[in-house]
Amino acid sequence: MKSTSSYEGPKEPIGRLGCELAYVGTLFWVPLVLCPGEKKARFCANQGLWILILSVIACWGIQLLGAINELLAGGILGIISSGFYSLIFILFLAFMFYLAWHCVKNALAIHRGEEPAPILFFDQLPIIKEKTA
């Protein structure tokens, strides 16, 4: 979905690069340092922080399920847990590919000067909020 409005974030190349780097996850803080006070920089930083949080939770969850699967290995319960683990692992991979695809898509949109699209619910639950005087 292409946006007809132009990107109203940082106009200088270093600010745009900072907003693009926010989608790496661990670099969510870069636009806040390069463009303090910019609304779109905060938006990109929030999305990067949410991506980092969800990725870490998903990785911990899949590791926990893997440990449970190893614990239950052998017997009929092990067969059921292995099937369940395989299904959850496929869903985990699909979710990670979904996040990666949208991060690349948003970084390219910022690079082209377009508005980045919100990923999942990230625009409705900002973690990094505006400073109120």
The whole-number pLDDT of residue 12 equals: 74
The phi, psi pair for 6, rounded to 5°, reads -80, 160
At residue 51, what is the residue type? I
Contact 52, 26 (CB under 8 A): yes
Residue 6 has pLDDT above 60, yes or no: no
Q: Calculate mean pLDDT across residues 36-56.
A: 89
pLDDT category, 131, cuts 50, 70, 90? low
Write out pLDDT tens, residues 65-104. Answer: 989 888 888 878 888 888 888 999 999 999 999 999 999 9
Instruction: Return the exposure string of 39-68: e unless at least 16 CB atoms fall within 10 Å of the residue's CB, then b.
Output: ebbbbbbbbbbbbbebbeebeeebeebeee
